[in-house]
């Protein structure tokens, strides 16, 4: 009793489809029956011919022809029915697709409502404020150190960085192309490039 609750309700659509399909089944069964009759008439005609009753054989064959035309007619009817059934089922699929799209749209709207531009702006502002606040605190704390202390801190930092680079290099070398080792080298190259570009520019106006 309670189990049938979650099963979808049987709608008029469902009944209509079932009706159509049952009709289709009946047609199929009818075709089977006609086929049996066809075979039987064939046998009868053969038997009559064997006993020399030609006219009766002709009658049997005529009946057979008629049954054959019936079979053809039912074939086209069957086709109609099957087409109708397929069309209906396909439309149902379309309906469910539409339903899915609608729901997806709703969800998207819902999400957008929660994520309005003002609230995002507000959030970004707040984040900015918080960052600035943090920076101020950092400044305040940093200002307590003397310049000498600050210098030694920086030197220590550089030493640490150098160590880290020195340690990391052998590992990195294994399979990577070697990167530029130190900052001055890069700046020299940049200067060369700059000089070259300057040199090249000179002849142009002259």
Partner 1 sequence: MALSTHTTPSGFLLPSIHSAPPFFTEQPNQSTHAHLTEKWIHLILTYARHKRLFVLRVEDAEVPGGEWDEILRNERINRRILPQYLSSLMAIMVAKNLAVYEPSKQTRAVLLYWRLPEEWADVLHSWATATGQLNTILTFYEISDPPIQSPLSGIPIPLLRRAITILSRSNRAQIIGVADGEGVRFFVG
Chain residues that interact with partner 1, rule: CB under 8 A = 3-4, 6-8, 10, 14-15, 17-19, 21-23, 25, 28-29, 89
Q: Which is nearer to partner 1, 22 or 130 (CB)?
A: 22
CB 81 within 8 A of CB 27: yes
CB of 25 to partner 1, least distance (A): 4
The least CB distance from residue 29 to partner 1, in Å, is 8
| Angle, helix 12-50 to helix 54-114, in steps of 10 degrees | 160
**Around Cβ 103, how many Cβ atoms within 10 Å?**
10
Contact by Cβ (8 Å): 85, 24: yes
As a whole number of angstroms, the distance between CA 97 and CA 101 comes to 6
Q: Strands, DSSP E only, in 14-127?
A: none
Q: Smaller CB distance to partner 1: residue 99 or 109?
A: 99
Q: Which CB sits closer to partner 1, 21 or 122?
A: 21
Shortest distance, position 13 Cβ to partner 1, whole Å: 9
Residue 82: CB minimum distance to partner 1, A: 11
């Amino acid at each position: 009793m309670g189990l049938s609750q979650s099963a979808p309700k049987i709608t008029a659509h469902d009944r209509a489809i079932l009706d159509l399909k049952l009709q289709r089944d009946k047609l199929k069964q009818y075709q089977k029956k006609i086929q049996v009759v066809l075979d039987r008439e064939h046998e009868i005609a053969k038997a009559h011919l064997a006993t020399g009753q030609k006219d009766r054989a002709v009658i049997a064959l005529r009946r057979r022809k008629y049954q054959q035309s019936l079979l053809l007619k039912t074939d086209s009817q069957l086709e109609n029915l099957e087409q109708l059934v397929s069309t209906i089922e396909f439309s149902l699929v379309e309906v469910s697709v539409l339903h899915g799209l609608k729901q997806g749209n709703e969800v998207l709207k819902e999400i957008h409502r929660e994520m309005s531009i003002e609230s995002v702006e507000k959030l970004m502002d707040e984040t900015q404020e918080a960052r600035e606040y943090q920076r101020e605190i950092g400044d305040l704390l940093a200002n307590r150190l003397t310049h000498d202390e600050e210098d030694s801190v920086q030197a220590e930092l550089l030493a640490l960085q150098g160590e880290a680079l020195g340690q990391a290099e052998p590992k990195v070398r294994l399979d990577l192309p070697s990167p530029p080792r130190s900052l001055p080298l890069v700046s020299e190259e940049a200067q060369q490039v700059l000089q070259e570009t300057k040199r090249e520019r000179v002849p142009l106006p002259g």
